[in-house]
Amino acid sequence: MSILGTSRTLIRTAALRRAADRLGVGVDDLPDEVVMAKLAPGFDATRWGLPPDAGITADRVVAPEVADAVRAAQEGRWSPAAGLVGAARGEWGRRAAVVDELARLAADDDGWLTAWREARPDDGDAAVVHAESLARLAWQIRGPARAAATTRGQFDGFHRVIALAETAAKEAARLLPADPTPWATRITAATALGYDHGRFGALWDELVARDPHHVTGHERALQYWCAKWRGSDELVLLFASAAAGSAPSLAHLPLLAALEVAHDDPAVWRSDPVRRALDRVLATGAAPGPAAVALAATGRHAEAVEQLRRLGPNVLCPPWDAHESPRLAHLRFRAEVCRKARRARGG
C-alpha cells in the first residue's frame, strides 16, 4: 500500500514528499527511518521497553543446521540437505520447516537439487523438496500484487507451474506414503487450482490422517477457506475455531483468520471465537504479532505493547510478513499503538 495513501495528515504527506525530493527518490522508496521521522516525530520506542527502530529486522531466522545445509547447497553439495531432510522424518513440524527453507533456495537455484535427484532418482526426500520448490516458484511467477495488477502472462505461468507442483507432490506422496509434507504442498496447489469443497475435503483427510495437528498444513488450509479463495468469512472462522480447539499448537489460527476477515469486517475482533482464541494465545505466549493486533483492535493498547515486547526485534511474522515492507509496516503499527496507549493512560 502506498505511504501517501495511508499518511494521517496532509502536513505529513507534504513532509514525506519534500524528503523524497531531497533524496531524489519516490515517496515509497524513502528509507524506513526517514518515513518514521515524518509520520511519528519524536517517537522513541525504547521508552516503552521496545527495540529501537534501527534494531528492528525482517530477516528470515533459521536453525543453524538448516543454515549450514543451505550454504552447502549453494556450493553445489546436496548431501547435507539430504541428510537433514531424512533425519526429520517423523518430526513433521521440523521437517516442514527444513523443506520450506530448502525449497526457497531451490525455487531460485535448483542445480544442487537436480544433482541430488539425478544421483538418487527414487529418493522421496528429494521429491518432497522438489514439489514444494515448484509451488514456491509458481507464487514467485505470479508475484505479490492483487489480481487486477497481475498480468495474463504471470497468471499463465503461475497455473502452469502450480500444476507441475501438484504432479510432483503426488509422486512424492507415492514414494513416502506416511509423510504429510507433500500433502501440505498439495493443499497449496489445490487452493491455487480452485478445488471445490468436496475435492479439497478428500485431500485434507489425507493430510490429517498422517498428522492431525500439522501446523503448516492447517495454516495453508486456512487460506483455502478464506473468502478471497474458495471459502467465506464464516467458513474460515469455523475452520480456524475447530482447529484451535483440537490442539494448543493451533490456538493461533482464529487470530490468523481474523486478520483476513478484518479487512471487510473489523468487528470480527470482538467475536466470541476470536476472543477465546486471544485468551488462549495470551496464556501461552504464542503468536505475539497477531495477539498485538487483536489487542489493539479492541482498545487494549497497553497489553498490545506488552506483546510487542514479547515479539522482540524480528518482525517477519503475521501480520507484517504479508506487507511489501514488513519492517516499515511494523514500525508504523507500534508507533500508533504506543501513541494510543499513552493517550489511554493520560500521558
Name the band, by pLDDT with cuts 50, 70 and 90, for residue 345.
Answer: confident
Helix axes 124-142, 79-87, angle to 10 degrees: 100
* pLDDT digit string, tens, across residues 49-59: 999 999 999 99
Angstrom CA distances, 149 to 27, 143, 153, 155, 314, stand at 20, 10, 12, 11, 30
Q: Read off the CATH number of the domain in which 120 is found.
A: 1.25.40
Name the band, by pLDDT with cuts 50, 70 and 90, for residue 16.
Answer: low
Return the C-alpha cell found at 178.
506416511
Within 8 A by CB and 6+ apart from 7, the residues are: 13, 16, 39
The percentage of the chain sitting over the pLDDT mark of 90, rounded to a whole number, equals 80
Decide if 89 is inside a domain.
Answer: yes
The percentage of the chain sitting over the pLDDT mark of 70, rounded to a whole number, equals 90
Cis omega (within 30 of 0) on the bond before 319? yes
The pLDDT assigned to 8 comes to: 53
Q: Which residue has the higher pLDDT, 34 or 177?
A: 177
Q: Which domain holds residue 175?
A: 64-224
d(CA 184, CA 294) in angstroms, rounded, equals: 28
Number of domains forming the structure of the chain:
1
What is the identity of the amino acid at 322? A
* pLDDT digit string, tens, across residues 73-129: 999 999 999 999 999 999 999 999 999 999 999 999 999 999 999 999 999 999 999
pLDDT at residue 1 above 70?
no
pLDDT at residue 19 above 90?
no
* pLDDT digit string, tens, across residues 244-301: 999 999 999 999 999 999 999 999 999 999 999 999 999 998 999 999 999 999 999 9
- 3-state secondary structure at position 57: strand
Burial pattern 112-142, b for ≥16 Cβ within 10 A else e, equals: bbebbbeeeeebbbbbbbbbbbbbbbbbebb
pLDDT at residue 9 above 60?
no
pLDDT at residue 322 above 90?
no
pLDDT at residue 27 above 60?
no
The pLDDT assigned to 150 comes to: 82
Decide if 173 is inside a domain.
Answer: yes
Decide if 256 is inside a domain.
Answer: no
Decide if 92 is inside a domain.
Answer: yes
Decide if 203 is inside a domain.
Answer: yes
Decide if 148 is inside a domain.
Answer: yes
Decide if 70 is inside a domain.
Answer: yes
Decide if 253 is inside a domain.
Answer: no
